[in-house]
Structure 1
Amino acid sequence: MLELNVWEMLLRATGAFFAILLLARIIGKKQLSQLTFFHYVTGITFGSIAAEISAQVETPFWDGLISLVWWSILTMFVSFLSLKSKKARVLFDDKPMIVMQNGVIVADNLKKARLHTDELTMLLREQSIFSVDEVLYAVFETNGNLSVMKKPAQRSATKVDVKADVTMPGFLPTELISDGKIISENLIELDLTEDWLLKKLKKKNIDSVEDVYFAQVLENGSLYISLRDSTGE
């Protein structure tokens, strides 16, 4: 009897694993990133159903799988409605709320968001803001985070402010070599060639790509290189 249960649980866990993997891909990244309270709750429920299928022998496998699939369909339906209708978006996801305006705490909105001043100051401290006087606007987002706009005098100076070089970067830093192998798709995406890469390595006295553990093209077109020897291999 014990052996039968072991094999059954292995099969159930395997089935639940691939089911949740497939459904997670179908639902998409937005759901999995838990952007709002709705996404957070549905994400927890999604995982709970999968756990019930894989761990509870009393739960019929196909009944649990149907529940998981139906929950996914409902989630996608709600996401579709939210995409098409602003009213539905507010209904399911709520809307951002201004809790500080022109440097003043908006007490009514703070109450609507069910926040008290201690929580507000805590959220500010999480952004390294210890004085409320630094804040011009603060918006309580639908995912529970606080977005802050500081007063002009409290903002960090930008390169434009100090008249520094603001030339646009030539490249997005991207991995080109991993564990001695060239990542061809990244070269193609950046409109670069293997010949260009090999010449760059040659200039650094590296004759073989296999000697490179990791290489990344930087914003200015130069290469960051970590050799195998430096990793202790």
Structure 2
Amino acid sequence: MNRIFDTSLRTLIGFAVLLILTRLIGKKQLGQLTFFTYITGIAMGNIAGDMVVHRDIKVIDGVVALSIWALLTIILELISLKSSKARTLLDGEPSIIIKRGVIMQKELASQRLNIDDLTMLLRNNNIFSIQDVDYAILEPNGQLSVLRKPILESVTKKDMQIQPDNRIYLPTEIIVDGKLVEKNLKELNLNNEWLKQQLKQAGFNSIKEVFFAELQSDGSLYISKNELL
């Protein structure tokens, strides 16, 4: 009887602590499941499970271990909010798998994907032919974001035989958290002078005044002001 009571008490404590800590960590655990958050969830679950079933582990030791793990996770997440390099280290970067209708074989291989994996991911996006794809981007959480070819983006254009406008650019981040993404600017064959001119026309004197800026497919710049200044 005491054994059942002890197991029940351990289970209740483990459940309560795990619930509180996962709420503190935030919704990213479920909403944006990356490799790091996936490992974090498994580790915390294992610690809670061991605390429940292994009586040689004191309850207080299990609670402390869970709390420290959750605290380290929160600290890393806070660091990643302030540092793009930390975000890249923890979550990875999106990878372009298909570019302008061409499969990027080297990138596909570096992501440990084969053509069957790619076609399966495309089918999950209701695309059954690679020739319908203009861009396909593998996100850090393993999901595939797909941009169809312009003529297939809207059924009305094809049905009415309206020639679509050519896409000049793939929508690309230029400024993130008030910092210039130089790599993206270089890949787009654009320079700092062009960016300064665009910002000046929009009423901004400095990159630091911008929280987020994204180059649109038509060449225009979407700008979100930094409200924390």
Question: In which range does the TM-score fall when normalised by the shorter chain?
Answer: 0.5 to 0.7
1:144 to 142, 145, 149: 142
| Gapped regions of structure 2 (runs ≥ 5) | 161-229
Deviation at 1:35, TM superposition (A): 2.5
CA contact (8 A) 1:32 1:43 kept: no
Q: Percent identity?
A: 45
User: Where does residue 71 of structure 2 map in the other structure?
Assistant: 73
User: Root-mean-square deviation (CA), in Å?
Assistant: 1.9
- Residue 200 of structure 1 corresponds to none
CA contact (8 A) 1:31 1:39 kept: yes
Alignment-derived partner of residue 114 in structure 1: 112
**What's the counterpart of residue 7 of structure 2?**
9
1:158 & 1:51 partners in 2: Cα distance?
55
Distance apart, 1:55 and its partner CA: 2.4
* Alpha-carbon offset, residue 34 of structure 1: 4.5
CA displacement, residues 135-154 of structure 1 (integer Å, 9 cap, x when unaligned): 00000000000000000122
Matching residue of 2:121: 123
Does structure 2 conserve the Cα–Cα contact (< 8 Å) formed by 1:97 and 1:140? yes
Q: Distance in 2 between matches of 1:64 and 1:27?
A: 18
3-state secondary structure, aligned to 1:75? helix
Distance 1:132 1:11, change over 3 A: same
Equivalence for 2:207: none
Residue 99 of structure 1 aligns to a residue whose secondary structure is strand
Q: Distance in 1 between matches of 2:43 and 2:154?
A: 42
Q: Secondary structure at the match of 1:59?
A: coil
Moved over 6 A (4+): none
The 3-state SS of whatever aligns with 2:70 is: helix
Write out per-residue CA displacement over residues 15-50 of structure 1, whole angstroms, 9 at most, x where no aligned residue: 111111111111111123343111111111111211
Flag the structure with larger Rg.
1
Matched, 1:101 2:99: yes
The reply on whether 1:43 has 2:41 as its aligned counterpart is yes
Instruction: Determine if contact 1:23/1:72 at 8 Å carries over to the other structure.
Output: yes
Q: What does residue range 137-216 of structure 1 map to in structure 2 within 5 Å?
A: 137-157=135-155
- CA pair 32-131 structure 1, distance change in 2 beyond 3 A: closer
Contact preservation (8 Å) 1:139, 1:147: yes
TM-score (norm 1): 0.64
